[in-house]
Amino acid sequence: MWGKIRQDFRKFLPKQSMQNILYVIILTLTLLVAVFVGFFVSKSQQEKQAQIIVQDNQELAEQINVSMSQYLHSMMRLSDTLYYNIIKGNDRGQMEQMFQAMYDGYKDYVESIALFQEDGTLLQVMPALSSAASSDVMQEEWFSSALERSENIHFFRPQIQDCFEHNSSFPWVIPMSRFVQITHGNQVLSGVLLINIKYSALSEVFRNSTDDMNQYSFLMDSNGELIYHPRHALVNSGIIEKPPETLAEYQDGSYETEIGKQQVFCSVKTVGYTGWKIIRVIGKEELRSYGIKSTFFVLAVICQVVLFFQVVGSYISMVLTRPICNLEEDVKRISAGELDIKVHTAGSFEVYHLGRSIQKMTVRIKKLMREVIQEQEAKRKSELDSLQAQITPHFLYNTLDIVVWMIEENRKEDAAGMVTALARFLRISLSKGKNIITVADELEHARNYLMIQSLRAKDQFTYRIEKDPGTECFQVIKLIVQPIVENALYHGLEGMYGDGEIVIHAYTKDGDLYISVKDNGMGMSKEQAEALLDYTKELKTAKGNGIGVRNVHERIQLHFGKEYGVQIISEEDEGTEILLHLPAIMYGEKKE
């Protein structure tokens, strides 16, 4: 039989791909290991969860014990205050007001406070109540115990407060009594101080410790009588079986026992001074439910592990069998222009080195492309510099021609002023061959240009140059303001005689440098403004007025980046403002 199985298996293998075979092997091994480990983990997890629940049960019982002790001690402090600060050393006339004040301070926890003589006579009670005709306080356990054991404060089981007349139903209280000595004139009488603690106030201590009948807490005295139970009424009526009195004999700790035919774990804590027992109960069924939850959790983890290894197995089989396909995909992406991809170099020795070779090839291609781009940028900068150099000779020819005309017309002073402005203009234009100058020099260059133009066309326009403090030391590209001013003169103020105005303003905003050139000329449409800066559109404007603006825009972007350049703000018949946006760099520093 085994021989037949081996033969069938050998026939089956050649029909399957290596990727599928590896995937099935990995998945099978994962399932076997997951089932084996999951069984033991689930078992240990259930035991650990049971230990944690029992420990939590003990901690909750301790928390209730602390709260109960604090509550009872506050009642004992109230008793001490009433006895030593009010009853002892004061006559009856002073007691009433003091009793009222103490009751008002504790009325959320205390139902009533009463003072009796040893013969049962009621001396003081708060709130104001009268003794019930059918009640004989001398027969009450709390009264006799206080007189018999005068050195102690006594706590008793819950009972109905029936020793006073009530207009409504009689409340449930927990009596607390003690022996006291009462000053009456020159006599010292014996008596009993009774503080009836509200049962509802005691219930608040246990309010958050009861989830359901599988998890709850109750309180019993040293004789096994219930003081508090979350189902007290049902226990008294016999619907729920009363907890065994033997629980009162248990020492502090955790026990496995039976309450009402239900197997439970209980944690026992003794309340100091009173001897009462706090018993925190959790049913075994609750532990089993936690164990089932834990098992489901382990199963969920196992499923996730299996799913994870299923993905891992698929990945491993793909890595081992398809490295050539990955290289093929990489080559396709490289041929499409994606030169920044990381070429796969996994697989066998030959595939690994093939991938490394392709990666080196892409690096070399990227390097060659960068060199081509740099050459093109350098060529474009050279063309722009040549265009910039052509501007000055043309302007110089026209200016000297006007100087000759002024001399012939005997306007020597105008000619001298124009020659002086021209000299300053040319000095800044040369700038010792530097392409970067200060804002102050660039604005002075524009000022000399405007002075020359104003002498050529006397009284045809006015100009004003402003700069915010501190801007004069920033660096700018040489000869970027003068072409904008020239554009404003020959295009913006065309046809205006005497009313034209040009305002130049240098300022900083949001950490950048701005130079504004504003005129009050004819303006332009939004489409014309966009065309001035769009390299893809051919300019069809008179006097070459758009070339200078585009030249300045391109020079700024080549030097400082695409986020800088020229902005045009214009409306027809409203004038034009051209903003030069540059980084605010102090002269001599370098932009990162």
- CATH fit for domain 323-372, picks 1.20.144, 1.10.8, 3.40.1360, 3.30.70: 1.10.8
Query: Does position 514 have pLDDT exceeding 90, yes or no?
Result: yes
Q: Decide if domain 203-288 falls under CATH 3.40.50.2300.
A: no
Query: Does position 306 have pLDDT exceeding 50, yes or no?
Result: yes
Give the residue range(s) of CATH 1.10.8 domains in the chain: 323-372
Give the residue range(s) of CATH 3.30.565.10 domains in the chain: 411-583
Burial class (CB in 10 A: 0-12, 13-18, 19+), 175: buried
Largest CA distance in the chain: 143
Q: If we measure between CA atoms, which residue out of 61, 524, 390 comes closest to residue 252?
A: 61
Query: Does position 379 have pLDDT exceeding 70, yes or no?
Result: no
Phi, psi angles (nearest 5°) of residue 279: -125, 115
CA angle, 533 then 535 then 540, to 5°? 80
Query: Does position 166 have pLDDT exceeding 70, yes or no?
Result: no
First vs last Cα of the chain: how many Å apart? 79
What pLDDT is stored for residue 19 in this prediction?
Answer: 63
Contact of 96 with 127, CB cutoff 8 Å: no
What pLDDT is stored for residue 542 in this prediction?
Answer: 44
88 pLDDT band, cuts 50/70/90, is confident
Residue pLDDT, tens place only, 244-267: 888 888 888 888 888 877 788 888
Please give the structure tokens belonging to residue 343.
């070429």
Q: Which of 66-70, 337-341, 581-585 has the highest mean pLDDT?
A: 581-585
Residue pLDDT, tens place only, 346-369: 766 777 777 778 878 887 887 887
pTM to 2 decimal places = 0.45
Least confident of 96-110, 211-225, 423-437: 423-437
What pLDDT is stored for residue 121 in this prediction?
Answer: 86
- Stretch 417-439: mean pLDDT: 72
Q: Identify the three-state secondary structure at position 187.
A: strand
Please give the structure tokens belonging to residue 526.
């939004």
Q: Which CATH class is domain 411-583?
A: alpha beta
What pLDDT is stored for residue 544 in this prediction?
Answer: 47
Please state, as a whole number, how many other Cβ atoms lie within 10 Å of the Cβ of residue 184.
Answer: 12
Q: If we measure between CA atoms, which residue out of 198, 201, 211, 204 comes closest to residue 280?
A: 211
Give the residue range(s) of CATH 3.30.450.20 domains in the chain: 203-288
Torsion of CA 485, 491, 496, 500, to 10 degrees: -20
What pLDDT is stored for residue 592 in this prediction?
Answer: 46
What pLDDT is stored for residue 512 in this prediction?
Answer: 92
